[in-house]
């Protein structure tokens, strides 16, 4: 006589789930979603790498459900046309994949491909005043440096669009640089106001997200200013070894042949020391002591060697991913698809809360 198979006990089911978990990569439900992004205006550089990209990798490996938005509409805030947009978008994906972001676990998407995300902009705009939009210090700074004669409506309202980037997936954590804090504050305000105005029975529709600032110190560009895509002073992650050497040879330093780590007194020399130290996982004082009074030429040679050595495996992976454009497009279209599913659900919830469903 055979007995019917008993249903797996709760304990067995739990054990199976635990076994299956790493394979399906479902994060623990109590971890908040993490969302961040990069404008597709040029290649990612060493400042991004030590300032934010390594952090994302850490969050991914800790099991966070990570979303990376490529905010292509934002490119049009300070220029008339988005030059080379498809190329820059794909190059971002190459960098993400070469870094180790895993499209099975991390959703990579462009916001223009997610209609429901964009539609959230309309109710969100109703929640902020024109005076508040004018007060945003990052927007003010961008207006001052804009390539356009006038200020477009998009320039003034893109922080509200950014709130849609963040809230469509109900992200709870947003890793950003200091300059993005006003936008995060705008997002928090919009989430709170939406919940206060439309949340039924004390159940908020949106979490109020937190900014996660990187602990990494700021790297200077080769001209001594902040390393930035648009200032031509950056070392791209995808640059080859000769290009890296050339850029570092041209880096600003000072006339003192004795190399020491003194970020306040000698910012350019110190930033180069820091770069070498970060690449080698060492202390910048130690790097400085080894160079001693061999001067800026020696310092630059040491930094070049450190950067090229550190990035060699990344650059090899980068070249392999860059050669397979079809794969890049497939990664992006899968990410877009997943983002659309989530955005559709959030928009439906928003419309229902607002009595528009």
Which residue among 59, 114, 166, 274 contacts ligand TRP (CB under 6 A)?
166
Name beta bridge partners: 45. Answer: 236
Q: What is the Cβ-side half-sphere exposure of residue 125, based on CA atoms within 13 angstroms?
A: 11
Residue number with CB closer to ligand TRP (165 or 268):
165
Q: What is the Cβ-side half-sphere exposure of residue 99, based on CA atoms within 13 angstroms?
A: 26
162 counts as binding ligand TRP under rule CB under 6 A: yes
CB of 194 to ligand TRP, least distance (A): 17
CA 270 → CA 195, 233, 236, 263, 280, distances in Å? 47, 16, 20, 5, 15
Cα distance between residue 350 and residue 357, in whole Å: 9
Window of 5-13, 30-38, 112-120, 209-217 that interacts with ligand TRP by CB under 6 A: 30-38
CB of 46 to ligand TRP, least distance (A): 16
Cα distance between residue 70 and residue 329, in whole Å: 13
69 counts as binding ligand TRP under rule CB under 6 A: yes
Print the binding letters for residues 31-60 with ligand TRP: x by CB under 6 A, - otherwise.
----xxxxx---------------------
112 counts as binding ligand TRP under rule CB under 6 A: no
308 counts as binding ligand TRP under rule CB under 6 A: no
Burial (CB count within 10 angstroms: exposed 0-12, middle 13-18, buried 19+), residue 275: buried
Q: Tell me which H or E stretch contains 108.
A: strand 106-110
User: By C-alpha distance, which of 69, 102, 110, 55 is closest to 321?
Assistant: 102
Residue number with the shortest CB distance to ligand TRP? 71
Task: Look up residue 308 and give its two tokens.
Answer: 């090229």
CB of 140 to ligand TRP, least distance (A): 14
Cα distance between residue 124 and residue 316, in whole Å: 43
CB of 67 to ligand TRP, least distance (A): 9
Cα distance between residue 291 and residue 294, in whole Å: 6
Q: What phi and psi values does residue 213 have, to the nearest 5 degrees?
A: -85, 140
174 counts as binding ligand TRP under rule CB under 6 A: yes
Restricted to residues 199-228, the positions that interact with ligand TRP (CB under 6 A) are none
CB of 187 to ligand TRP, least distance (A): 8
Residue number with CB closer to ligand TRP (168 or 198):
168
Residue number with CB closer to ligand TRP (110 or 315):
110
Window of 91-99, 146-154, 159-167, 236-244 that interacts with ligand TRP by CB under 6 A: 159-167
Characterise 26 by phi-psi region: left (phi > 0), alpha (psi -120 to 50), beta (else).
beta
CB of 20 to ligand TRP, least distance (A): 31
Residues that bind ligand TRP (CB under 6 A): 35-39, 69, 71, 74, 162, 165-166, 174, 176, 180
């Amino acid at each position: 006589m055979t007995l019917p198979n008993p249903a797996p006990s709760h304990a067995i089911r739990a054990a199976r789930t635990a076994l299956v978990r790493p394979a399906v990569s479902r994060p623990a439900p109590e971890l908040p979603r993490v969302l961040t992004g990069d404008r597709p205006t040029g290649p990612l550089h060493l400042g991004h790498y030590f300032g934010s990209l390594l952090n994302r990798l850490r969050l991914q490996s800790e099991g966070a459900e990570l979303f990376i938005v490529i905010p292509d509409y934002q490119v049009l805030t300070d220029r008339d046309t988005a030059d080379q947009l498809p190329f820059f978008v794909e190059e971002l994906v190459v960098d993400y994949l070469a870094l180790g972001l895993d499209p099975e676990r991390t959703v990579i998407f462009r916001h223009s491909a997610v209609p429901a995300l964009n539609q959230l902009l309309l109710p969100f705009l109703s929640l902020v005043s024109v005076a508040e939009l004018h007060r945003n210090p990052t927007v003010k700074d961008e207006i001052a440096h804009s390539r356009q004669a006038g200020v477009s409506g998009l320039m003034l309202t893109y922080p509200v669009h950014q709130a849609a980037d963040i809230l469509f997936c109900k992200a709870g954590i947003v890793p950003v640089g200091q300059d993005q804090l006003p936008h995060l504050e705008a997002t928090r305000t919009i989430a709170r106001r939406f919940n206060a105005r439309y949340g039924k029975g004390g159940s908020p529709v949106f979490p109020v997200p937190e900014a996660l600032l990187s602990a990494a110190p700021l790297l200077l560009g080769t001209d001594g200013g902040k390393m930035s895509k648009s200032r031509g002073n950056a070392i791209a992650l995808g640059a080859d070894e000769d290009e890296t050497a050339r850029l570092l040879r041209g880096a600003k330093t000072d006339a003192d042949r004795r190399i020491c780590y003194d970020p306040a007194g000698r910012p350019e020399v110190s930033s180069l020391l820091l770069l070498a130290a970060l690449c080698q996982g060492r202390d910048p004082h130690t790097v400085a002591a080894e160079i001693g009074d061999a001067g800026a030429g020696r310092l630059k040679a040491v930094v070049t060697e450190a950067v090229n050595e550190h990035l060699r495996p990344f650059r090899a992976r980068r070249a392999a991913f860059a050669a397979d454009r079809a794969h890049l497009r497939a990664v992006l279209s899968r990410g877009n698809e997943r983002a659309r599913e989530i955005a559709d659900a959030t928009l439906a919830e928003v419309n229902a809360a607002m009595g528009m469903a």
